[in-house]
Structure formats: structure tokens, C-alpha cells
Amino acid sequence: MKVTFLGTGTSQGIPVIGSTHPVCLSENPKDKRLRVSILVQWDQYNYVVDCGPDFRQQMLKANCSKIDGILFTHEHADHTMGLDDIRPFFFRQGEIDIYAHKRVINALKTRFDYIFQTENKYPGAPDVNVHIIENKSFDLDGLEVIPVDGLHHNLQVYGFRFKDFAYLTDMKTVPDAEVRKLNNLDVLVLNALREEPHMSHFNLEEALAFIDRVKPKKAYLTHISHLLGFHDEVSKKLPSNVFLAYDNLQITI
């Protein structure tokens, strides 16, 4: 299984528009971060987790000409607002499978009502095949996916475990029963927004403590703000099995 980090930034991306923060002015490509998303590939299948406003750019960069479905962690704009850009895939493939909590599907129906219309639908709008995720495992083309239920402040969000790889973003609280789903991981990807505490995200200290609790063989940090610091400087401070993810990084599990 191969995982490509399509984006590793927080909701505004890095650089932030108009910011003169040193990280936003960095010329290091690893300090330039699109909105957070991953591409998960195995056999001939391509699945995307989250579809934010940079989705078109990310698909072009990844040279991805086919997607088998999109899994949504939650409904916030930086995770959903690229949904219209599934159109090229739809024109080639037909309807696109999407997987999300029922609440998230309802939010998408409000924001992208023209996609979900059944009568007098605009002919250029894509069709989607909706799959409601509940907190139990489900099948994606022969691969078991295990949802991991957590809270983003007081908003329910899903992380996902694919085999021995797990992806958790926008987490602040993970109940003990959900943590147990993360035993014996080869790779854990986890949000780490900044060093200062935040009401709805793990900060760096909390993320490292969570990694120490779960004990994956390796961990990668994502959903990163410019306030965390320069990629190269922060990387030097991390434990030997913990790494900062960066856009277009590919790992094999």
C-alpha cells in the first residue's frame, strides 16, 4: 500500500495569504503546505481521504487520473470544498463513491446541492454514490477500513485505519475504546498544529504524548500551521521514529 501526502497544512495553508511570518516567507518547498489530504493506493485502487479546496492542484501534482472514492473525516471547508473538482473523474468514470458520517453528507448536500439533485439536474454536475459511515469497519474493494471516532473540539470526526496504517487529523480527544483500535500500527499519521495549546487540535506536545501511548513503529505529523516552525528545525527536535510529513511525500506500508 502506498500513501501520498497531497497536503499537510492547516485550514489556511502555508504560506498564509498576506502573512510576513518567517515560515510563510520560507523558500524551502517543505514549508509550503496545501490543505490536508492523502491518496491511498493498493493494487489498482486509488482512494482519497478528504477533498479540500486544493484538490484540483493536488490531483494534477500526483498525476492521478482515476479515483475509486473519497472518504471524508468531517465537514469543515478545508476538508470538503474541492468536491466540485471530481467532475473530470466523473466524466471518465461515472458516479464517484463518497464515504462519510450522515451529518457530513447532509452538510455536503447543503453546500453542493446541485450535485445531489435528482430532478432538473444541471448536465455538467457530477453524480456521487453515497455511503454512510457508522463507527464500524467497512470494506473498500477487499480492504477492511476501521473508523476511529474522535472529537475536534466538540465536533465528531473520523480517522481511518487501513491495515497497519492509520490516519487521524483534526483530533483533540480520542476515547480509550478508539485508541485500542490503533494497536500494532506500522505507521500513524496524526495532526500537530503548533506548539501552543489549541482548543480543537493536538499541539505538538499532545501529539507526541499520543504517539508514545499508541507506540506505532513510525509516526508522521500533519495538519501543520506555520506557527509550528520551520520544517527542518522542527524535524531535529522530534523522536527518532517521528517525522514531519510534507506535501508530496510518499510512503509505502
Mean pLDDT score of the chain, rounded to an integer? 97
Which pLDDT score, from 0 to 100, does residue 131 have?
98
User: What's the pLDDT score for residue 39?
Assistant: 98
Amino acid at 240: S
Say what the pLDDT of residue 57 is. Answer: 98
| Tens-digit pLDDT profile for residues 124-164 | 999 999 999 999 999 999 999 999 999 999 999 999 999 99
At 63-103, the pLDDT tens digits run: 999 999 999 999 999 999 999 999 999 999 999 999 999 99
72: left (phi over 0), alpha (psi -120 to 50) or beta: beta
- Is residue 193 within 8 A of residue 163, CB to CB? The reply is no
The amino acid sitting at 81 is: M
pLDDT value of residue 186: 98
Preceding amide of 175 cis, omega within 30: no
Digit-coded pLDDT (tens) for 184-205: 999 999 999 999 999 999 999 9
CA end-to-end distance (rounded Å), the chain? 5
- Going by C-alpha positions, the residue among 56, 46, 54 that lies closest to residue 12 is 54
Q: Please tell me whether residue 205 adopts helix, strand or coil conformation.
A: helix
Q: What is the pLDDT of residue 101?
A: 98
User: Which residue is it, cell 462519510?
Assistant: 100
143 CB contacts (<8 Å, ≥6 apart)?
42, 45, 162, 163
CATH homologous superfamily for the domain 2-252: Ribonuclease Z/Hydroxyacylglutathione hydrolase-like (3.60.15.10)
By residue count, the chain amounts to 253
CA 211, distance to chain mean position in Å, is 18
Q: Where are the domains of the chain?
A: 2-252
Query: From residue 209, how far is each of 73, 151, 156, 162, 179 by CA, in Å?
Result: 22, 17, 21, 22, 13
Backbone angles phi, psi at 236, to 5 degrees: -70, -20
- Nine cell digits for residue 19: 502573512
The pLDDT value given to residue 110: 97
Cβ contact 6:58 at 8 Å? yes
Q: Helix or strand or coil: residue 96?
A: strand
